[in-house]
Amino acid sequence: MTRAWRGAALAAIVVVLVVGLTPYLWMFATSFKTRLDTLSDVPIWTFQPTLEHYPEVFLDKEYLPLLWNSVAIALGTTLLSLFVGVPAAYVFARYQFRAKEDLFFFFLTTRMAPSISIVVPMYLLFNYFGLIDTKFAVVLAHTTFNLSLVVWMMRGFFADIPVEIDEAAQLDGHSRAGAFARVLLPLAGPGIAATAVLCFILSWNEFLYVFILASFESRTLTVGIPGLVTPHGTLWGQVAAVAVVATLPILIFAALVQKHLVRGLTFGAVKG
């Protein structure tokens, strides 16, 4: 690549980064701005930061439980999806059976299923069992997409481990189940961790299911933020404060599993 080319490429990347990051940084800054600075006619770039919005919204307006709900629900669905999905992924990676690809396709469609299409009957179902506005209901709803994410991602990770390892473990004295639990699971550990983080992120960011199934006691941060937006006099500092708390951990997690992100988002079809 010539020097000029290199310069142009670098400039393009800088522009892309600025466009990509400015909106988020603006929101981030807003969470530290006084009300006056936020509402200023001319955008204010330098300001005296204030920390007032965070305690206001999390303590006075009692948004702290929402944070706990977000964590509990995301953890719950992650554990459930892994517990059920990892063994299933192992079967898909190792066994040959008729209808395997069809079953696999079924798992794909569940990942794709538009929540708007099943949230009504799901509401009726959970209502029937008295589960509306419980974390458990949301965990189950989020498992619809996370379970298939686990199956798709972990299938790839298991496929990366040579079959000979399973066989060696069996000849070393393990049963099939034992070889899976004692040898393959530890080997797939990093993959499981990455999958878990992605599950967590997807659940944490989800909106519609929580919105419909748990709009009061069990609502999460993502559903809590719009509640602060009113036609008249939205407190943008507080909105921004919640938004920051609702996004910053996710950004850190995402950076951690970036290597495996591609695999997770393409259902294992493309390796990162």
Q: Which of residues 4-43 bind other proteins (CB under 8 A)?
A: 9-10, 12-13, 16-17, 19-21, 23-24, 26-27, 30, 38-43
Q: Other C-beta atoms within 10 Å of 232: how many?
A: 4
Angle of helix 64-94 relative to helix 189-205, nearest 10 degrees, comes to 140
Candidates 53, 157, 196, 268; binder of other proteins (CB under 8 A) is: 268
Place of tokens 């009726």: 124
Q: Is 62 exposed, middle or buried (0-12, 13-18, 19+ CB in 10 A)?
A: exposed
Please provide residue 113's backbone torsions phi and psi, each rounded to the nearest 5 degrees. -45, 125
Candidates 71, 75, 108, 131; binder of other proteins (CB under 8 A) is: 108
What is the total count of residues that contact other proteins (CB under 8 A)?
A: 112
Q: For the segment 226-245, give every residue that binds other proteins (CB under 8 A).
A: 226, 229, 236, 239-240, 243
Burial 157-190 (b: 16+ CB within 10 A, else e): bbeebeeeebeebeeeebeeeebbeebbeeebee
Shortest separation between residue 87's beta carbon and other proteins, angstroms? 4
Judged by CB under 8 A, the stretch of 47-55, 58-66, 71-79, 255-263 that binds other proteins is 255-263
46 makes contact with other proteins (CB under 8 A): no
Q: For the segment 168-187, give every residue that binds other proteins (CB under 8 A).
A: 168-178, 180, 182-183, 186-187
Q: For the segment 67-86, give every residue that binds other proteins (CB under 8 A).
A: 84-85
**C-beta of 75 vs 118, nearer to other proteins:** 118
Could you tell me which of 62, 43, 214, 47 has the C-alpha nearest to residue 127?
Answer: 214
Q: For the segment 122-151, give every residue that binds other proteins (CB under 8 A).
A: 122, 124-125, 140-141, 143-144, 147-148, 151
Q: Is 230 exposed, middle or buried (0-12, 13-18, 19+ CB in 10 A)?
A: exposed
Q: Other C-beta atoms within 10 Å of 38: how many?
A: 21
195 makes contact with other proteins (CB under 8 A): no
Angle of helix 189-205 relative to helix 135-160, nearest 10 degrees, comes to 150
Shortest separation between residue 72's beta carbon and other proteins, angstroms? 17
193 makes contact with other proteins (CB under 8 A): no
59 makes contact with other proteins (CB under 8 A): no
